[in-house]
Amino acid sequence: MNTAIPKHGGNLSEEARRLGIDEHQLLDASASLVPFQPPKSIHSCLRNALVGNSLTKYPDHTYQAFREAIGNWHEIDPKMVLPGNGAAELLTWSARDAAETGTSTLVAPGFSDYARALNCWKGQYLYQQLPKCWSSNTPQAFPLTTNNNVLWITNPHNPTGQLWSRTSIEPLLERHKLVICDEAFLSLVPHGERQSLIPLVKNNSNLIVIRSLTKLFSIAGLRLGYAISTYKRLQRWEYLRDPWPLNGLASAVGTKLMNDHIELGKWTRKVHSWLAEEGPWLQSKLGDLPGIKSHPSATNFQLIESNNSLVKLREILSQQKILLRDCRSFEGLDEKWLRISLQTRKNNKRIIFTMQQALKQIL
């Protein structure tokens, strides 16, 4: 058995090679994307870009049209926006500022990419542990206090799925020289925008908010994200980074998505309706499985735990062409934890049925 621990979900090609199958045969519940095909408008946008000159000319290195579209949607100055090659690129530049500012506090369990980004700049960081049991109340007060210069927050939190209230985070801006808030999953959460820190950026120069279009539109292959912070900070990043981090096709799609407010609102409501229905259903069914504890989540993934190792359970499901997220790459979690990405009802039923059969072999 291959015991390598994935650092991220969605490792379809790697898993398919290991299993000796085509990656399209896999049900991927390891990456937390919406389970719908991207909007048709993306396909038409790509076709138009291909017959135009998006392949033959250099992209606009300022990405002005994309910035204006994002600024209009969030009702902020486009100068406070910087598009990036996915959230990962922008986390790397956030980490550069964090490393210059002082020691970072990272929440555990938490997304491993923050440590990866800080290591790029030899940044210092410490982990602070979240309680491993939480209520189903939404939103919740951010439970940690720290005296370090920099605080990294994920809202909603990955991998627990907890949604933090804006009112509990806002006072932390006065205590830290820099706060980096990763809101990659927030747009998926019904009423989640009420907890966004974006409205606070204008009056808090020590705040960086990172957003992703990957999760909401299931377009991980296009790599689209953006940062919202002060113009001075983003101008410095723009000067230091590669000249064209987004290709012309990705930039065209991002601009189209953020400019079409009617389509964006319609799509978002579709996602919210799906999450509101499927989230509680899956949590309930997971909780009925023997030897499994299912934790409440405000977003599109469920964290489960057991008193025993779940490595074998994950491997049995892999053999049945279902991928779950190995949680050992999350600081503070071990082989007794798995994360499951929410799917359509049909595929959620398939996951539950396959887990039931697998647990009969293990218990």
Q: What's the confidence (pLDDT) of residue 20?
A: 82
**Do the domain assignments include residue 159?**
yes
How many percent of the chain have pLDDT more than 90?
83
CA distance linking residue 321 with residue 93, whole number of Å:
37
Is residue 31 located within the same domain as residue 45? Answer: no
Is residue 110 located within the same domain as residue 233? Answer: yes
Q: ω into residue 83 within 30 of 0, thus cis?
A: no
Question: In terms of C-beta density within 10 A (0-12 exposed, 13-18 middle, 19 or more buried), how is residue 242 classed?
Answer: exposed
**Do the domain assignments include residue 188?**
yes
Neighbour tally for 1: CB within 10 Å: 8
**Do the domain assignments include residue 1?**
no
Is residue 248 located within the same domain as residue 336? Answer: no
Q: Determine which helix (DSSP H) or strand (DSSP E) holds 70, and give its type and residue range.
A: helix 64-74
CB under 8 Å to 69, separation ≥6 — which residues?
254, 255, 257, 258, 259
Q: What's the confidence (pLDDT) of residue 9?
A: 57
**Do the domain assignments include residue 76?**
yes
Neighbour tally for 203: CB within 10 Å: 8
Structural domains counted in the chain = 2
Strands 81-85 and 224-228: antiparallel
CATH code for the domain in which residue 28 is found: 3.90.1150.10
Residues in the chain: 363
CA distance linking residue 159 with residue 339, whole number of Å:
7
Is residue 208 located within the same domain as residue 114? Answer: yes
CATH code for the domain in which residue 154 is found: 3.40.640.10
Q: What's the confidence (pLDDT) of residue 6?
A: 54
**Do the domain assignments include residue 3?**
no
Is pLDDT of 8 > 70? no
Joined tokens for residue 240? 């230091």
Q: What's the confidence (pLDDT) of residue 10?
A: 59
Domain final residue, candidates 261, 295, 326? 261
Is pLDDT of 218 > 50? yes
Is residue 208 located within the same domain as residue 61? Answer: yes
**Do the domain assignments include residue 6?**
no
User: 182: which strand partners?
Assistant: 154, 210
Domain final residue, candidates 228, 261, 294? 261
If you compute the radius of gyration of the chain from its CA atoms, what whole number of angstroms results?
20
**Do the domain assignments include residue 103?**
yes
Domain final residue, candidates 261, 286, 308? 261
Closest-CA residue to 212 (of 246, 254, 266, 271): 254
Is residue 190 located within the same domain as residue 117? Answer: yes
Average pLDDT, the chain: 93
C-alpha distances in angstroms, 34 versus 51, 111, 268? 29, 19, 11
Is residue 340 located within the same domain as residue 292? Answer: yes
Residue 335's domain comprises 12-38+264-362
Average pLDDT over residues 28-46: 92
**Do the domain assignments include residue 136?**
yes
Joined tokens for residue 215? 């999760």
Is residue 209 located within the same domain as residue 65? Answer: yes
In degrees, rounded to 5, the angle at the alpha carbon of residue 304 between the alpha carbons of residues 11 and 224 is 40
User: 191: which strand partners?
Assistant: none
More confident residue, 244 or 15: 244
Is residue 147 located within the same domain as residue 196? Answer: yes
